[in-house]
Structure 1
Amino acid sequence: MTLRLADVLADPDLSLRLADGDPAALQQPVRWCAVTELADPRPFLSGGELVLTTGLSQTCPSAQRDFVSRVASSGVAGLGFGTGLSHARIPPETLDEARARRLPVLEIPYETPFIAVDRFVADRVLEEQYGRFADLLDEHDTLARALLSGQGLGALVTALHQIVGAPAMVLSVYGQVLATAPSRAAWPVEQILFAARHRSPAAIPVCVPVCVEDVVVAYLCCRQPRSSADVLPYAVSLVGLEMARRQAELAGQRRLAGQVLEDLVRGTIGAPEASRRLSPFGIRDEDEHALLVATVEAADLRKRLVTSPPLSGATTALLEDCLIAVLEPGQSAREAARLLEAYLARLGSDVRVGVGGWYAGMTGLRWSYYEAYEAMSRGPGVNDREQMSLSGLLLASDDVPLRDLARDLLRPLCEFDAAHAGSLVATLRAYLDADGSVAAVADRLIVHRNTVRYRVEQIERLTGRSLSRTADRVQLWLAVAAARLDG
């Protein structure tokens, strides 16, 4: 129980008397005692003290008024004035200034030593702190038991709400309300996220970041706590443990699902085996599914992808440096792709998301993956699938070493460009895009047509391929397309 000025006044052994002050002011909490005879004790006061003085330095009315003004400005709980030593009674100027400052004044009789008042306050404050420490241990135990009950963040936040007497919430950095208590509580999610990200004043009194491996993953939010606010740091640590557990579980699931999908895409397992291994993830052979394939430029890419948040209603997996999402039947692929894009934008730059079509069966999953992968390769942002061509399938498949063949075919051109600051690769790309129109290439590259013809001759000589032959042109087109995929 908090020690208040009224408790000090009421102790019969101290024999104190209220010399002046509003009775309501006696409810001020007393944090400690400060004995002083300085004319200006402000450097040694921090607020909440009961200041004890005999007025030794207060020898004139102005000094008495100044002393009261100074201690009152420090936010002290009250003034205890010892009589019978420097002053037979409390000076009227002291009482007048205290009344003007709404500062309670207690008269301490000559028979009551200051050390008795100091000991009384110290014993009660220490008793209060010990009691609060015991209560805090009980509250820590309550929160830990709630988390270990198997009900996760929901039980933890409910227990925290009951302890602090105010609504509480765990909010992910992506704006998902992971748990809230009471359930009917409304939260200004966008305002909270904006304030947290820009370190501006929050829309609610308490918004504490929760970190896992020094990365902020969520915020513990609480409206004005009515009690036990010092339990919040422990609650934050428990939320961090639960978030780390969730990340580890999600990472394991993504690696397992990713291995099955990789085997399916590579053709190393058949449809029956893939169906059996994907069924624990809710992917059934008879349902239609669509795939999203996404990537982002970021440091520690695989680590960041494996711990990025789950998509509601989708099975997510990690395949090489891409995050794969297998959407459930009826889910909006476009909406899920936009959400995934927003998630990954927090991890780095150049976010690419490809959207595949809806197909049934394991073969359908594989086809949707190829469509999504080809769409992703077209550039940043969300790209919808296009009708899958044979060339697109070749480019998307790792079963065909197309990228290696492309590098070998284009190496002479790349080496020439590097040695002579040339533009043979750019010219070849423009020539193929323009369907062999020399005039269109010249306009695009802003060069003379004869320059384009000369470069085409160089390309044919260095590669050993003729751009007038269909078979050679197809090879060069595939090589350029594969090079674009590799950036």
Structure 2
Amino acid sequence: MAEPTMRALLRRRDLGLRLVSEEDALPADALDRPLRWVHSSDLADPTPFLSEDLALLTTGTQFDGLDGADGYTGYVQRLSGRGVLGLGFGTEVHRSGIPDELVSACAASGMPLFEVPYRTPFIAVARAHSEAIAAEAYARRSWALDTQRALALAALRPRGLDATLAELGRRLGVWAGMFDATGALQSSHPQEAIAPEVLALLGDRVIDVLTRGLEAGQSLAIGAHPFMLFTVGRGGQLRGVIALAIDALDPEARTVVTSVIAMAGLALEQSEQLARSRRRLHTQLLSSLQTDDPALARRVLGSIPPAPVVVAVAADAPVGPLSDWWERLRAEGGAASFVAESPEGVVMCVSADDEGLLDQAAERFGIRIGISEPESYSAFSRAHSQALAALRQESSGAYRYADTVGASILSALATDEARLVAESRLAPLRDHDTSTGADLERSLRTWLEHDARAEPAAAALGVHRHTLRSRIAQAGALLAMDLSTFPARAEAWTLLQTARD
């Protein structure tokens, strides 16, 4: 039903109202703005008693004694400044016809001026408009109820969330889209209504809303496209965003959207429960794969990524969104994957041909990922160990085990536990240096760097070779090592390389 406007009021044949202003000379929307009320007054300045967006009716008694057009101009300008949308003049009540000065003043201000004939009481005009407001409110409530029923039926169809979203877009007459918790567009209706570049910018705004954990509706504009965003879920459990290509909603439409948000939240909660069950199953199957036997996983899941595969471990990764991302890739005909939780992090297994997707995952989620070399399932446990070794590297993003092959074996063994042991073993030597000001640790390191040869090591330190030999003997005594033997020298070198400076 059309909104109650000045044009709708003028079209009421039972009132006999006549537009005096030339419509072509009025502002484009002068007759089509929503009209909130109709009021009557013969005061010379009724504006203190008026609200915005109403039509004012008058019989013109306030114009008695006016000399010239200035009084009419000031009167109309006061009404226009207060937000009055139109002026109705009741003829044949106090005077015959409408003063020409009033017609000119209204034309100059762009104020619609209409005649109310003698046979039409002002109260009839006000009542007709109030009935139109009531009829519109009833129509909107009826629309909301009918839309609620249609949405409930849509929710019962296959892919109920998509069907509900499509029905919402049709009922509102706008584009509607659903973004998941990762900020990816899951579905939209109509699909081609929004340009890809606008959708990309909208996706960035959605990710910002999800990252900040906002719950309220957001209004924004991307170029000439207005949007409203509504989060699904609460607080730290935001599960997605519903976007509508609209700049505002009336109360009835907002109620409808709120019901869709509730239905979407329930549907996504059920999906999340299924996803958690799937992740628990995958975690149990991971134990089977680590025995280098894929038979159980293949029998339970039906299919697993084709060999050769790479195994990856992600540290501090959001397992839910990460699993959903891989699942969406699979549903779109992309890579098959196996994702499971483990004490070390999120374990991912993909075909070696899809290894590049792990780099995308690291960038998209801002996480560290260690990646194995391609292996068969009979070497899954080795691949998993390689991924963990790569993950221990102090590197951001995706780091491959192959990149560590050229590194020293000592750096691979330099775990926190190994550093603790090394620092404990070197403690007597370091305590001695601290208390006496000696330089035994640096002397030992320099001597070992010069293959335990006294002459070049002493020269590098700037001391006599006999001084160096004395220091090495003292260091060996403090460390309880016979540094004349190769095993002791190898152990000392390992301690010095592993311990923190």
How high is the TM-score relative to the length of structure 2?
0.69
Distance 1:457 1:242, change over 3 A: farther
Whether 1:202 and 2:208 are equivalent positions in the alignment is: no
1:51 to 47, 56, 79: 56
Residue-by-residue CA offset, 1:218-241 (whole Å, 9 max, x unaligned): 443344599996444544444444
Q: Which runs of 5+ in 1 are unaligned?
A: 346-350, 440-446
What are the within-5 Å matches in structure 2 for residues 9-408 of structure 1?
9-22=10-23, 28-35=32-39, 37=41, 39=45, 41=47, 45-47=51-53, 49-55=54-60, 60=66, 61-72=69-80, 76-83=84-91, 89-109=97-117, 112-172=120-180, 174=182, 176-185=184-193, 186-188=195-197, 189-195=199-205, 197=208, 201-203=221-223, 204-214=225-235, 218-223=240-245, 230=254, 231-262=256-287, 264-265=289-290, 270-272=291-293, 275-277=295-297, 279-281=299-301, 283-284=303-304, 287-296=307-316, 304-308=318-322, 309-311=324-326, 312=329, 313=335, 314-320=337-343, 322-328=345-351, 330-331=353-354, 333-334=355-356, 336-345=357-366, 351-361=367-377, 363-378=378-393, 379-386=395-402, 407=420
**Compared CA separation, residues 7 and 387, structure 1 to 2 (3 A):** closer
Instruction: Give the counterpart letter for 1:132 in structure 2.
Output: R
Is this contact kept in 2: 1:169–1:177, CA < 8 A?
Answer: yes
Question: Structure 1 counterpart of 2:18, which letter?
Answer: R
The residue that corresponds to 2:212 in the other structure is: none
Report the Cα distance in structure 2 between the residues aligned to 1:478 and 1:11, rounded to whole angstroms: 98
Instruction: Give unpaired runs (5+ residues) of structure 2.
Output: 210-218, 330-334, 452-459
* CA deviation string 1:230-279 (max 9, x = no partner): 444544444444444444433332233134325654xxxx455x631464
Deviation of the 1:286 alpha carbon:
6.8
Aligned partners of 2:240 and 2:312: how far apart in 1? 25
Q: CA deviation at 1:285?
A: 8.7
The residue that corresponds to 2:6 in the other structure is 5
Q: Which residue does the alignment assign to 2:216?
A: none
Q: CA contact under 8 A between 2:80 and 2:111: conserved in structure 1? A: yes
Q: Is the 8 A contact 2:428 2:478 kept in 1?
A: no
Instruction: Give the Cα–Cα distance (whole angstroms) in 2 for the partners of residues 257 and 168 of structure 1.
Output: 34
Structure 1 residue identity aligned to 2:309: H
Of 99-108 and 467-476, more deviation after overlay is shown by 467-476
Structure 1 distance, partners of 2:470, 2:98, is: 108
State the distance in 2 between where 1:117 and 1:271 align.
Answer: 86
Q: Structure 2: how far apart are the matches of 1:324 and 1:114?
A: 77
- State the shift of 1:74 in Å: 5.8
Give the secondary-structure state (helix, strand or coil) at the position aligned to 2:159: helix
Query: Cα 1:106–1:327, aligned 2, differ >3 Å: closer, same or farther?
Result: same
Match of 2:214 in 1: none
Aligned residues: 443
Partners of 2:108 and 2:159 in 1: how far apart? 56
AA aligned opposite 2:341: L
Post-superposition offset of 1:57: 5.4
Change (3 A) 1:178 1:25: closer
Taking structure 1 as the reference length, what is the TM-score of the superposition?
0.71
Q: Distance between the aligned counterparts of 1:92 and 1:477, measured in 2?
A: 106
Q: In structure 2, what is the Cα distance between the partners aligned to 1:258 and 1:470?
A: 43
Kept in 2: contact 1:83–1:90 (CA 8 A): yes
Secondary structure of 2:196's counterpart equals coil
Question: Highest CA radius of gyration, 1 or 2?
Answer: 2
RMSD across aligned C-alpha pairs, in angstroms? 4.9
